[in-house]
Copies of this chain bind each other. A is one copy, B any other.
Amino acid sequence: MAENPYMARAIELAIENVRSGRGGPFGAVIVKDGRIIATGTNQVTSTNDPTAHAEVVAIRAACAALGTFQLDRCDIYTTCEPCPMCLGAIYWARPHRVFFGGTAGDAAEAGFDDAFICQQLGVPLADRKILFVPLMREEALACFRAWAASPNRINY
Interface residues of A (CB under 8 A from B): 1, 3-4, 7-8, 11, 14-15, 18-21, 23-27, 44-45, 48-51, 56, 59-60, 63-64, 66-71, 77, 79-81, 83-103, 106-107, 109-111, 114, 116-118, 120-121, 130-137, 139-144, 146-148, 150, 152-156
Given contacts A19-B152, A50-B70, contact A90 B130 (CB under 8 A): yes
A51-B89, A106-B140 are known; give 13 further A-B pairs, CB within 8 A: A1-B136, A3-B136, A14-B143, A18-B150, A26-B143, A50-B70, A50-B156, A84-B88, A95-B130, A98-B132, A100-B133, A102-B144, A106-B144
- Set B87, B98, B136: member contacting A131, Cβ < 8 A: B98
A50, A89, A92, A107, most chain B CB atoms within 10 A: A50
User: Are A91 and B103 interface neighbours, CB within 8 A?
Assistant: no
- Set B59, B98, B134, B143: member contacting A51, Cβ < 8 A: B59
- Set B101, B110, B146: member contacting A15, Cβ < 8 A: B146
Quick one: closest B residue to A60, CB to CB?
B49
User: Are A100 and B60 interface neighbours, CB within 8 A?
Assistant: no
User: Are B80 and A143 interface neighbours, CB within 8 A?
Assistant: yes
User: Are B106 and A88 interface neighbours, CB within 8 A?
Assistant: no
- Set B8, B91, B150: member contacting A120, Cβ < 8 A: B91
* Separation of A102 and B133 alpha carbons in the complex (Å): 11
User: Are B139 and A11 interface neighbours, CB within 8 A?
Assistant: yes
* Separation of A135 and B153 alpha carbons in the complex (Å): 40
